[in-house]
A and B are shown apart, each in its own frame.
Chain A
Amino acid sequence: MDWSSMVGGSLQQALGAPAIIYCLAAIGLNVHFGYTGLLNFGQAGFMAVAGYALASLVATWGMSFWVGLVVGLALSVVLALLLGIPTLRLRADYLAIVTIAAAEIIRQTIGSVTLLRYFGGQDGLQQFVGTFQGLNPFHNSVTIGITTWRPYDFWLLVVGWTVVALCCIVVYLLMRSPWGRVLKAIREDEDAVRSLGKNVYAYKMQSLVIGGLIGALAGFMSALQNSSIVPSQFATDTTFFAYTVLLVGGAARVLGPVVGALIFWFLITFLDAFFGDATQGAHPLIPTWIMSNDQASVMRLIVMGLALMLLMIFRPQGIFGDRRELAIDAR
């Protein structure tokens, strides 16, 4: 068992693009769920819309990378409005069902054979990162401690964590403003806020749009990560992973998603590497009648599902959350 390479590989994931993607998605969900109490189960839809807007405008229609970014952000705002108008006046569970349905509609539509010539079907799109690659100031591999990064990955990492930092600052400033306090009040008691003359519907909508925009940034990162984009990147599980990230770190805490993403990706990759290693070779550590190498690959998801359940039951505030501030388990 090669512990140092397992730890190294896990660190690579925890500091690299996967963690950044889920961190951004979770920051968006934090605005929705942590601060406003909106149960958005369609974050993957926001990511898909933005990611595919960028990829298809560049790869299919030959437009500039920057136009792709702007259109991606604009479309995620449109999506937020489309989802919010029918559901924000209804109970929380309706928003959950509609958002999860919308995300599936988006994923199935962009992956369809009918629209193959625009979105590439299940094989997705490639060759749209030229501009981003051109801006890369790093020409050699970068080694930090026991991790080594290829130039493109390191450039992505620098840009990604900068975006994460900016998002955290924005969320911090927003949430300590009077506007942010209204959001938190809506989360705790909607009727009380309404009785004070606030337009709860408008506040919820603004929150949905802002969280969706941050989700769009996660979609861009997801597209840039491997310089390619496929529909399976935006499956329903993507949203659920982001929720786990948020709940591990602690909802309604500015740095919750960041810590959550680091821990989540480290553990997930480590578990995968561990079980993969333990079932490999002629004489595996875990006998094959208990676990084959194929079965090892689903272990991390089994553990994750169990962790999400237990976390929600025993420590809904996550690692850094404050149970008194956020009474998730009482709603």
Chain B
Amino acid sequence: MRVRLTAIAVLALVLLGFVLAGTATAQAATPTVGPAPRAATPARAAAAAPATADDVIHIKGKLIDTRFTPPRPVAGVKISVSQGSKLVGTATSDSKGSFSIPIGNGATVLGETFTVKIDTSTLPKGTALRDPKKVELKQRILLSSDVFITFPIGNNPNPPTSTAIQGVQLFTDGIVFSLLLAMASLGLSMIFGTTGLVNFAHGELVTFGALIAFAVDDLPGTIQIAGANITIFVGILAAIVLSALFGWFQDRVLWRPLRHHGTGVIAAMIVTIGLGIFLRNLYQYFAGADNHQYSQYATPTPWHFGQVLVTPKEVAVAAFSAVVLVAVTLALSRTRIGKATRAVADNPALAASSGINVDSVISVVWAGGAALAGLAGVLLGMTQGFDYQLGFKILLLIFAAVVLGGLGTIWGAVVGSFVIGIFINVSTLVVPAELKFTGALAVLIIVLLVRPQGLLGRAERVG
């Protein structure tokens, strides 16, 4: 007991030091703007909404650009409301993208129909309505309360490309995301396979990689070889190495003692939740709540393949992660340590009795899984930017991918990631972009209904 207590204290301290050293510079360079977001904490979650004192009805709305996660507000857009041919009022969206137009007293406007029109020429450059034909909305007032309307803003399909082309574009985007998701999923699946631990703190390993690379990127000056700026590559390398160390360290001071103590699956799962909350907020403590971008490749010029656009960065990221994935799966199936890993996953007791050092295999798996997750984190950060919740946001997608493929199977994690990654992108053809994750999670539940062992898992009776 004593030993473990010290071990955990050491873990906490070293972690603190780790992240402090890594991101103290980041903190200094990018002071947090405005108050730290406390909205997620329940006590302050719901500030009482300002009540409208009079019974004047407003047409309200919020213009947000859904191409970004989180969506960005679109300011300075003119909206007008008219009744028949009579102009009732106009407004311009503010810095939060919100607008509010009073249209009259509750009793007088009830049952009337108003036309809300957006002036597309005032949209900022590069943004457009997702449906270019929908510049006017008809709104009948049925309740004596404010009415909310929305104009979805997103990718400008100019000229409106055919569904097929859009599908190919989304499919390509999906492939890139799938490769990154696959690396994160493979780590989770390997750890689950060998230890039976469902790691709810796996997302924090992903964020860890992104943060390390950011810390390197944020150091003053650039690292150059023969005149070429290779800072980001050094960042990637640092992320892989430090993530591997972090995973190995976690196993040695936390998970191995718990395993030896005989802590059950459920208790360990709750420990991972505590660890996840702890790490996530520690990241926020040091890196702030802002969205970060790496300095290099900030604005890439895309390559055109017919009407499909691919950025050179995406190609590089995809190629690199494909190579890593192939290397890892080959290593798992061909090398000694790979075979030992699969033996431990199959039956730890039998593996131990045939001379495999189970503990050291598990340590290697932790280091490898964490390195994969960390790498996925940097590359995700390169393609879309990141904040302290990067990993937590995709954690459920990782779970969906792993369960879909079959918990604990190596190929299952990869196959599952591709299904989920492509599905969430292509599904935006029919589903609003903001609900694409929802679709993936729904798929997860449906798969469990019909094929609980996953696509590649072995059927076993449980209960």
Residues of chain A whose beta carbon lies under 8 Å from any beta carbon of chain B: 13, 18, 21-22, 37, 39, 59-60, 62, 85-94, 96-98, 100-102, 104-105, 108-109, 112-114, 116-117, 120-121, 123-124, 126-127, 190, 194, 200-201, 225-230, 232-233, 235, 237-238, 240-241, 243-244, 247, 265, 268-269, 272, 292, 294-295, 297-302, 304-314, 316, 327-331
Option from A21, A295, A310 in Cβ contact (under 8 Å) with B42? A21
Which residues of B, 271-300, contact A by the 8 Å Cβ criterion?
271, 273-282, 284-285, 288
Question: Would A124 and B49 count as touching, CB distance under 8 A?
Answer: yes
B397-436 interface code vs A (CB 8 A; 1 in, 0 out) = 0011001000100000000000000000000000010110
Given A90-B463, A105-B442, A114 contacting B8 (CB threshold 8 A): no
Question: Would B48 and A302 count as touching, CB distance under 8 A?
Answer: no
Q: A89-B452, A237-B41 are in contact. List 10 more A-B contacts (CB 8 A).
A: A21-B42, A90-B452, A100-B399, A124-B49, A238-B42, A243-B270, A298-B285, A302-B278, A302-B282, A308-B277
B53 within 8 A of A: no
Given A62-B143, A104-B396, A200-B463, A294 contacting B35 (CB threshold 8 A): yes
Q: With the chains together, A94 CA to B445 CA distance in Å? A: 10
Option from B41, B264, B271, B284 in Cβ contact (under 8 Å) with A309? B271
B175 within 8 A of A: no
Question: Would B64 and A330 count as touching, CB distance under 8 A?
Answer: no
Question: Would B277 and A304 count as touching, CB distance under 8 A?
Answer: yes
Question: Would A302 and B285 count as touching, CB distance under 8 A?
Answer: yes
Residues of A within 8 A of B273 (CB): 240, 243, 308
Residues of B within 8 A of A268 (CB): 43
How large, as a class, is the contact surface on chain B? 35 or more
B213 within 8 A of A: no
Q: How far is the CB of B91 from chain A (nearest CB, A)?
A: 17
Residues of B within 8 A of A59 (CB): 145
Interface centre among B279, B441, B462 (most CB of A within 10 A): B441
Option from B40, B64, B434, B448 in Cβ contact (under 8 Å) with A87? B448
Question: Would B276 and A305 count as touching, CB distance under 8 A?
Answer: yes
Among B146-154, B318-326, B346-354, the stretch that binds chain A is B146-154
Question: Would A105 and B441 count as touching, CB distance under 8 A?
Answer: yes
Nearest residue in A to B397 (C-beta to C-beta)? A101
Question: Would A117 and B147 count as touching, CB distance under 8 A?
Answer: yes
Question: Would A314 and B5 count as touching, CB distance under 8 A?
Answer: yes
B1-18 interface code vs A (CB 8 A; 1 in, 0 out) = 100110010001000000
Given A87-B448, A127-B51, A201 contacting B463 (CB threshold 8 A): yes
Judged by DSSP, the binding face of B is helix
21 of the cross-chain contacts (CB-CB < 8 Å) are: A60-B143, A86-B445, A88-B463, A89-B462, A94-B452, A98-B445, A100-B396, A113-B62, A113-B64, A124-B49, A232-B45, A232-B46, A233-B46, A298-B285, A302-B282, A308-B278, A310-B8, A312-B270, A313-B8, A313-B258, A328-B264
Interface centre among B145, B396, B445 (most CB of A within 10 A): B445
Residues of B within 8 A of A312 (CB): 267, 270-271, 274
Nearest residue in B to A316 (C-beta to C-beta)? B267
Residues of A within 8 A of B49 (CB): 123-124, 126, 228
Question: Would A94 and B403 count as touching, CB distance under 8 A?
Answer: yes
Option from A22, A93, A98 in Cβ contact (under 8 Å) with B269? A93
Question: Would B40 and A237 count as touching, CB distance under 8 A?
Answer: yes
Residues of B within 8 A of A100 (CB): 396, 399
Residues of B within 8 A of A309 (CB): 8, 271, 274-275, 278
Question: Would B148 and A116 count as touching, CB distance under 8 A?
Answer: yes
Please give me the 7 A-B residue pairs with the lowest Cβ-Cβ distance, nearest first.
A305-B278, A308-B274, A305-B277, A309-B274, A331-B264, A294-B36, A301-B281
Q: How far is the CB of A149 from chain B (nearest CB, A)?
A: 16
Q: With the chains together, A22 CA to B43 CA distance in Å? A: 11
Residues of A within 8 A of B452 (CB): 86, 89-90, 94
Option from A94, A109, A244 in Cβ contact (under 8 Å) with B448? A94
Nearest residue in A to B64 (C-beta to C-beta)? A113
Q: With the chains together, A331 CA to B407 CA distance in Å? A: 19
Q: With the chains together, A87 CA to B287 CA distance in Å? A: 38
B47 within 8 A of A: yes
Interface centre among B147, B277, B442, B463 (most CB of A within 10 A): B277
Nearest residue in B to A44 (C-beta to C-beta)? B42
B133 within 8 A of A: no
Residues of A within 8 A of B396 (CB): 100-101, 104
B263 within 8 A of A: yes
Option from B36, B147, B149, B263 in Cβ contact (under 8 Å) with A298? B36
Question: Would A101 and B434 count as touching, CB distance under 8 A?
Answer: no
Q: With the chains together, A242 CA to B4 CA distance in Å? A: 26
Q: With the chains together, A148 CA to B292 CA distance in Å? A: 43
Residues of B within 8 A of A91 (CB): 462-463
Question: Would A247 and B270 count as touching, CB distance under 8 A?
Answer: yes
Q: With the chains together, A102 CA to B274 CA distance in Å? A: 21
Interface centre among B46, B62, B198, B269 (most CB of A within 10 A): B46
Q: With the chains together, A13 CA to B143 CA distance in Å? A: 36
Question: Would A305 and B266 count as touching, CB distance under 8 A?
Answer: no
Q: With the chains together, A113 CA to B463 CA distance in Å? A: 41
Q: With the chains together, A247 CA to B274 CA distance in Å? A: 12
Residues of B within 8 A of A330 (CB): 262-264, 267
Q: With the chains together, A235 CA to B395 CA distance in Å? A: 14
Question: Would A108 and B265 count as touching, CB distance under 8 A?
Answer: no
Question: Would B265 and A331 count as touching, CB distance under 8 A?
Answer: yes
Residues of A within 8 A of B148 (CB): 116-117, 120-121
